[in-house]
Structure 1
Amino acid sequence: MKICFVGKGGSGKTTLAALFIRHLAATAAPPEGGPPPLLALDADINQHLAAALGATDAEATGLPALGDHLGEIKDYLRGDNPRITSTAAMVKTTPPGRGSRLLSVTGINPIYDMLFREVSDVRLAVTGPFASEDLGVACYHSKVGAVELILNHLVDGPGEYVVVDMTAGADSFASGLFTRFDATFLVCEPTLRSVGVYRQYVGHARDFGVRVHVVGNKVDDDTDVEFLRAHVGADLLTWIGRSGYVKAAERGAPQPIAALEPANRAALELMRDTVDTVDKDWATYTRQAVEFHLRNATAWANDRVGEDLAGQVDPDFVLGPEPLVR
């Protein structure tokens, strides 16, 4: 299952993503002799997921950046797909087709070897920060495009998880990345500003059939829960109370995930149960990838590449555990 965390900046989105990742790492059964069936990706412009997972400052700053290796990522995923004329012709939305190389969650491949690192028993990749040399000349979405390419070519199965910490607010709608997930958890504080981000997000997401599950955060009492229910209604899935466990971690004294407060662990388990009950719809997943590729091709990519990128679409290909050719 592919899962993302979104929400207002400062809502605790990254903290909650890290808690959920650590919960999955502790409870998901790894294949015999293989790594845990879990990948984590930091696609936020503020790169804090590694630290939230327990990396030291030196470890976090030393992680290789996906955004710095787009060429290698494209070259590998392209494979011998005859519809893609060159690696340079691939863009962030280029969908897979016959001949493309596909990724699995637990598989071994050059992208994972080069760009993923183990942090607290979790394989993590980061897009890389928005550097000073990027100011005024680059768009952060060019870096996040690496995540979109990976997700477009990644086949996940039951009991396998890919968790992405997204950019804050509704910024992810600048591409089709928001449609790449089986479950979207929107972290929402019991405040009007945080609820405002929820309304903005769901207003776009529902046009594309994206179900948003609201997870309340920094909840002190029943009045906070009532506030959230009044503003988000049935979208409120669960909530995380104020946590001494989280406070200790943020002060440099992390503990095993088993030490998290029982009510908060129960919330994480409900989130996992929600993910596990989602029915995968590979046909829709493939169709939406193609739809956003064609939108991007018309808007900017054809001019940039110098060819009609609609030709990259393999109309008979459907991504899945056993890719279908109609």
Structure 2
Amino acid sequence: MILIAESGSTKCDWVLLNKNGTEADRFSTMGFNPYFNSARFVAEHLRNLQRVQKLRKEVEMIFFYGAGCSTEPLKNEIKRGLEQVFVHAEIEVDHDLVAAAYSTYNGEPEIACIVGTGSNSCYFDGHSLREEVPALAFILGDEASGSYLGKKLLSTFLYKQLPKEIEADFLSTYHTDKDEIIDNVYNQPNANVYLAGFARFVSKHQEHSFFTKIIYEGFLLFLKTHVLCYPEAKNTTVNFVGSVAYHMEGLLQKACKDLDIKFGRVIKKPVDGLVAYHLQHKIELQA
């Protein structure tokens, strides 16, 4: 059996295929990012999942694409964790940017973008993938992402800059305060995921002028930094994956239009397109 996994920092989607390419199962787990999760953590978490236990000796091939898996040492951190669980599997680990490119590719060169918990981009011509600028993660980068929007929301809340009706809804939704926020951001693990968790609140109020401006300006910043950096940007379709791009597509389209960027499509979950790409290009099926 074959497992295909697409992991952000928040969630990982898994699809199990039979050797003939038919889907046998799909499930989700927490996301695994080698910047924050060790091989030991990955192995221990997966071993505790009953669904995974049933597959440990049946899976023969794993294609894992994950946030943070951008260098060989980082890829190997995840791979070592998977090897401890799926004892008979051949395992390939690659970057989530590769998954974004594969899942949105339609036969023509593209710029593939991730705007979810974090953000990033690449140029993909169907053969090779190129990053023009690096992703700097949630402290220095991740423009327009869930963690970016979470930071904007929390800082405006703590600075008492939220509109009164928005502040009231925020307090009734989260029942939090400065001390709890500071502790989660500066002392607890996975601060990027914590911050991104507030993007849902921003999305809920995206039609309020206060948040419309923040979201739109975030998209402009992302596009200027991570799309217009490519020489091919003005003549190439730009596709997107990720929950922020999906749920705030209207403002993303407007930002693309205002910058004369050729907007393609948005996919919330790359895993379906990823499976289709593997069936066509990477997996030898058995009758």
Question: Shared fold (TM-score greater than 0.5)?
Answer: no
TM-score by length of 2: 0.30
